[in-house]
Amino acid sequence: MKAITFDQLGAADSVLHLVDREVPEPGPGEVRIRVAVSGVNPTDWKARTGMYGGEVVESIPNQDGAGVVDALGEGVDGLAVGDRVWVTLAAYLRPLSGTAQEYTTVPAERVFPLAADASFELGASIGVPAITAHRALTVIEGGPARLSPGALDGKVILVAGGAGAVGHAAIQLARWAGATVISTTSPTKTALAQAAGAHHVVNYRDEDAAAQIRAIAPEGVDLVVEVAAGANNELDLAVLRPRGTIAIYSNDGNKPFELDIRANMGLNSRYQFVLLYSVGWEILTAAAEDINVAIAAGALPVGEETGLPLLRFPLDQTANAHQAVESGATGKVLITIADL
């Protein structure tokens, strides 16, 4: 089978190579998936460049993907050969199980059913971004641990960077769950956040951005889903309601994040940092179940008309796909592997 591998850290066009490998056999509790589409996330290029540290070993990149169950290991229940599925965190602690290959073998707990009317492109787009968004939306003090229609009724959610993959999913899930959704973007990306379903979009560069948000939510927002903690912290505190929450899943731009103790004490605010690798599989599984309900309801579409353009690459151009994500391309980067 064809696969993309790397055994040293560095630039995508230097370290990623297309190779032939044996088709892996699933062990006990494992599922082999014939991969149709592999999704690329920022975590994938960060791992490839050594940002997370650790020992360098031969690896196959990409955590997310979608395809068809090809074989089952001993003891796997609830799945059958031929099932359409999506997978996330495929390569976590399993460097050769990334989805940038024709077949991957992963633990069954990382595999979730994909509805018959959902595309493999959708399946490869939802893993890390949608579960991250779900986690961020379920950490409000006194708020719901699960999402469903009405779960966020009465809540006002501010999604920073609504044109990104996580922001896109957060807008969609929050709106599906009944929240009033405000998003901040640059002026060139306003239409994307609107297409995703944001009720209001504010240019975060406006000097009166806080006033605009306060005009929409006079008592403040209940939750901020934050992509650039350092750059946006002043704005976040200016619009957060007392006992509100700021859920941080990234710090785009790498501006230092400085904690204003007096302002946060005055608000009785809380910060929740979000990283899927350590959140626990019970939370990941619950999020995946809610996401599948949202998909069935048509609440998580992807594509330019719904605010998340799809950028497609073939397997032998995985380096270009990684470079696109690393350079901040707008939209979801996907690698098409098989026509299933």
Question: Within this chain, do residues 144 and 179 fall inside the same structural domain, yes or no?
Answer: yes
Is residue 9 a part of any domain in this protein? yes
88 lies in the same domain as 173: no
* pLDDT at res. 50: 86
pLDDT of 56 reads 85
Same domain, 227 and 105: no
pLDDT score of 285:
97
pLDDT of res. 117: 95
Q: Per-residue pLDDT tens for 97-148?
A: 999 999 999 999 999 999 999 999 999 999 999 999 999 999 999 999 999 9
Considering the domain architecture, whether residues 89 and 9 belong to the same structural domain is answered as yes
| Same domain, yes or no: 267 and 187 | yes
A 10 A CB-CB count for 246 gives 26
Query: Model confidence over 206-220: pLDDT tens digits?
Result: 999 999 999 999 999
Same domain, 232 and 299: no
Domain contains 281:
no
Pairing of strands 156-160, 180-185: parallel
CA 312 – CA 37 distance, rounded (Å): 9
> Same structural domain for residues 149 and 121?
no
In-domain check, residue 202: yes
313 and 237, same structural domain? no
**pTM (global) more than 0.95:** yes
What is the pLDDT, as a whole number, of residue 268? Answer: 98
Question: What range does the domain containing 120 cover?
Answer: 2-128+293-336
Total number of domains constituting the chain:
2
User: Which parts of the chain sit beneath pLDDT 50?
Assistant: none
pLDDT value for 134:
98
- Residue 279 included in any domain: no
* Inside any domain, residue 284: no
Domain assignment present for 303: yes
CATH of the domain at 152: 3.40.50.720
Q: Pick the closest to residue 317 from 336, 291, 302, 330 (CA basis).
A: 336
Co-location of 91 and 46 in the same domain: yes
Considering the domain architecture, whether residues 267 and 307 belong to the same structural domain is answered as no
Distance CA 105, CA 97 (A): 6
In a domain, 108, yes or no: yes
**DSSP helix/strand/coil, 20:** strand
Task: Please give the pLDDT value at position 53.
Answer: 79
User: Domain containing 82 — which CATH number?
Assistant: 3.90.180.10
